[in-house]
Amino acid sequence: MDNLCTIISKNYIAMARTLAQSFLEHHPTGKVYVLLADEDEGQIQASEPSFEWVRLPEIGLPSSPDMRFQYDITEFNTAVKPFFLEYLLVRRGLESIVYLDPDTLVTQRMDDLYRRLPRYSIVLTPHILTPLPPDLQKPGEAELLQAGVYNLGFIALSRKDEALRMLDWWKARLTRECVMDPARGYHVDQKWIDFVPALFEGVRIWKDPAYNAAYWNLHERPIVHRNGMYEIGGKPVVFYHFSGLSADLVRISKHQTRHQWTDFPDLYGLFQGYVSRLIANGYAASAGWRYAYNYFDNGVVVPPVVRKLYRKLGAPAHFGNPFQTLTPNGFYRWLFTAATSSAPLPNLLREIYETRVDLQRLFPEPQGASRHSLMAWARQFVPIEYGVDPVVWHPVIDSMIYA
């Protein structure tokens, strides 16, 4: 059987439905599995006609909530990928599996891939097959170097020892180091895969331009509409990855500046058709659904700086569940309490201060002569610059500023 999987938070349900439907149109005997990397919060149907749900407790994630807390929505959705793939291959017993990002449309059968997949352990697709022009447009080759050679909107695996060994290696890295931080060499799950052809055997680099067409390779893959189908170089497009989609179609992708609609007149029709399918699958209602792991249990948003700090501290076990706000010695309370009673500073502010050379120059004595000025700055600018809820932050500062 031809098997396909994807991972979503619930705001991507319309994309998952569209992907699954498009796959089954071309692989009517196939099976689609969708992992919900979120809580359903009463908004998700128990079953879907075009795919089977898989829930987080099924896939063998570490039992603590650390991964859900320390990662944002993109980081978490990518961090769970090797756990999900291993679950499908080992616990569900699939002989092979193809993963596609949910913002993908299958437009042709993938017979070449599925027929040849049993020969390989791992199949990857490069972002590009020919050099990009050396101009100032984005993405350039420098951006692709930061993102990784291979696009992880696609990966295919066979149930072979080498693939399972790779998944074990990948899981170990993504448990703590699936972050979006290109300056430090991280691009969530994707950059890690640059190692795979060197570290593992049975890796196939799939260079068919009909697979994984997207904004980053349009320079080499002009898409035309002919004889009722979309083609690249006279061959039908197998799947298009709508990364960075703007549903209003004001641009090809929010991640690029290189191409305009006028460069590829037929491409607009492909996008129009895709957006129409999203709308029919409930996009307007579901795109705004909240991501459950973006909030503490009292409804306060978890700011990015707090996730980063939690990772820096090593997700200490003594804090307990970091989402819980009433735990006496929990992480939430630690953020907003002071390390010392004399000249107190909230722990969150102290951590911010230690990362900011500009603040250290402006306020050289944070627990001395500069403390009141630093606290006044923090009251105004921490909510603006770091997304900390002022309803929570202002009383914290007010209670300490003259202590």
CA distance 240 to 221: 11
Give the pLDDT score at 227: 87
Evaluate if residue 401 carries a pLDDT over 90.
no
CA distance 340 to 175: 33
User: Looking at the 3D structure of the chain, how many domains does it have?
Assistant: 2
Q: Do 187 and 331 fall within a single domain?
A: no
Whether residue 137 is found in the same domain as residue 111: yes
Question: 325 with 367, same domain?
Answer: yes
pLDDT digits (tens, 9 = 90+) for 156-169: 999 999 999 999 99
Q: How many residues make up the chain in this entry? A: 403
Q: How far apart are CA 107 and CA 88, in angstroms?
A: 24
Find the DSSP H helices in 50-155.
66-70, 73-79, 81-86, 111-116, 141-147
SS3 6: strand
Residues 77 and 163 in one domain: yes
Distance (Å, whole) CA 124 – CA 122: 7
CATH of the domain at 136: 3.90.550.10
pLDDT for res 275: 98
Angle at 237 between CA 232 and CA 238, to 5 degrees: 150
Mean per-residue pLDDT, 68-83 = 98
CA separation (Å) from 26 to 19, 29, 90?
11, 9, 26
Whether residue 305 sits in one domain with residue 278: no
| 322 vs 308: CA distance, rounded Å | 13
- Quick one: average pLDDT of 256-282? 97
Give the pLDDT band of residue 223 (cuts 50, 70, 90).
very high
Last residue of a domain, one of 262, 286, 310: 286
Domain boundary among 233, 268, 286: 286
CB 6 within 8 A of CB 46: no
Same domain, 133 and 76: yes
Q: Specify whether 84 is located in the same domain as 218.
A: yes
Read off the pLDDT of residues 296-343 as tens digits, 9 standing for 90 and up. Answer: 999 999 999 999 999 999 888 899 999 999 999 999 999 999 988 787
Query: Which residues of 125-201 form beta strands (DSSP E)?
Result: 154-158, 180-181, 186-187
Same domain? 19 vs 84: yes
User: In this structure, are 45 and 166 located in the same domain?
Assistant: yes
Average pLDDT of the chain is 96
Q: Which strand (E) or helix (H) includes residue 229?
A: strand 229-232
Band of residue 63 on the pLDDT scale cut at 50, 70, 90: confident
Looking at the structure, do residues 96 and 215 belong to the same domain, yes or no? Answer: yes
Q: Which domain holds residue 217?
A: 3-286
Q: What is the pLDDT of residues 95-121, one digit of tens each?
A: 999 999 999 999 999 999 999 999 999
Same domain assignment for residues 250 and 388? no
> Which of 286, 318, 349 is at the close of a domain?
286
Per the omega criterion (within 30 degrees of 0), is the bond before 182 cis? no
- Pick the range with the lowest mean pLDDT from 212-221, 341-350, 356-365: 341-350
